Amino acid sequence: MKEVGTFEAKNKFSEMIQKVRKKGAKFLITNRGEPMAMLVPAVQDRVKANTAIDALIAFGKANPLKLKKGEELKSLIEEGRK
């Protein structure tokens, strides 16, 4: 991942976007050396998010929540928020 300052990112934004789109490049945008933002391919992140969601759904199906008799999900959620 290439690190670029905010000034350079502003001046070369179009070029950076093309590199992200065509080559899958990733940029860490910094301000005085402090990380501020990342410019990464959106599709790649969407695939990762969808994979994570699918894994959570599969886990939920394989490990269904088992409530004790008389126990309500709402009360467990409220208790967890304390």
Q: DSSP class of residue 36?
A: E
* Structural domains for the chain: 2-80 (3.40.1620.10)
Q: CB within 8 A of 12, min separation 6: which ones?
A: 4
Interval 6-23: pLDDT, tens: 999 999 999 999 999 999
Task: Give me the sign of the Cα torsion angle 11, 14, 48, 57.
Answer: positive
In 10 A of CB 66, how many CB atoms? 6
Q: State residue 68's pLDDT score.
A: 87
Interval 20-71: pLDDT, tens: 999 999 999 999 999 999 999 887 677 788 899 999 999 999 998 888 888 8
Q: State residue 73's pLDDT score.
A: 86
Enter the pTM of the model. 0.54
Banded pLDDT at 76 (limits 50, 70, 90): confident
